[in-house]
Every structure is written in structure tokens, then in C-alpha cells.
Amino acid sequence: MNPFFYTALIVSAALILLLLGGYAFFLYLEVRKKNLQQKQSAIALSEELAKRQIGHQNSIRVIASALVQGQVGLTEAAIRISRLSSLLNLADNSDVYQVFSQLAQATSHIPILENWKQLSRKEQIDFDKERVSIEDSFRDFILSSAQKILDLQSSRSDEESPLFYSVGKE
């Protein structure tokens, strides 16, 4: 056989190996880039979730404060705190949050928003009486739990953002 043939065969094999090595390196860089993007996405997602949790906790604190001060009704506060605590997975873990879920559940059959507006005046009065009766049975527990929430969160977050922000000169 011709020595030129062997040389061409070796050069071809080396060229094929070089091309395969280059392609493998290209694929390695692509996988590395995707892994980096996934890590960055995971970090961004965890930061966003942490911000949401802080926002939900602050919302619970504001609602509890408004409830203790009599600025919001028991049922409305219970529905809102129950929903927020379930988003934070607090409802099942603490007696403090369970009472809000219990009141929200006890009043869940009462129509709200557009459904409320569609009721006759007599039906609204009847539902109001029923709601007040249910609220009265939960009142002490709800107010006590709202105060506990305020006490717990104020002890955890002394350096965190204030409950209300001042407007104007400081």
C-alpha cells in the first residue's frame, strides 16, 4: 500500500477526532451554560418566594393589627388571614392560625361580593344575623389569636420594616 494512503488515513482520523473533540467541548459549554442559568433561575425564584413570604407575613400582621383595633370585621379578617396562612403553610401548624380557618369555614356558606348583592334585603339581614352569631362564638378566640400574632411577629422582627410607614417629614 501507498505511504500516502496511510498518512491520509492518519490525518483523516486525527481530523475526525479533532472535530468530535470540538463538538464535545461545544456541548460541554452548552450544558454548563444551561446549568448556570438553572442555578440563577433557582436563586431568583427562591428570592421571589422569600419576598412573597415576607409580604404575606406583613399582610397578616397588618390585618391582625386592624382586627385588634376594630378596623376590620372578624369574618373578613379570618378569611384573609386564613388564606395567607395557608399560603405560608401556617394554618395546619399552629393553633393561632387554626381559629381563623375555623371561622372562615364556619362562614363560608354566606355569599360575598356579587352573590351578596343579588340577595334580597331579607336574605341579607338573615345572613348578617347568622354571621354575627357565628362571630360572637369565635370573638374571644379570634382577638386573642390576633394579639398572639402581633406579639409573635413583633418579637421576631424588631429590626424589620415597621407596621405602618410615616408620611411627611421625619
pTM over 0.75: no
Contact between 141 and 99 (Cβ < 8 Å): yes
Cα–Cα dist 37/55, whole Å: 27
Is the pLDDT at 170 greater than 50, yes or no? no
Is the pLDDT at 135 greater than 70, yes or no? yes
> What single DSSP character describes residue 163?
S
Cα–Cα dist 157/97, whole Å: 19
Cα–Cα dist 80/150, whole Å: 15
> What single DSSP character describes residue 93?
T
> What single DSSP character describes residue 169?
-
Q: 34-71: per-residue pLDDT in tens?
A: 999 999 999 999 999 999 999 999 999 999 999 999 99
Cα–Cα dist 83/101, whole Å: 8
User: Mean pLDDT, to the nearest integer, of 152-159?
Assistant: 66
With cell 386573642, the residue in question is: 144
Cα–Cα dist 99/135, whole Å: 11
Cα–Cα dist 79/83, whole Å: 6
Indicate the average pLDDT of the chain.
Answer: 89
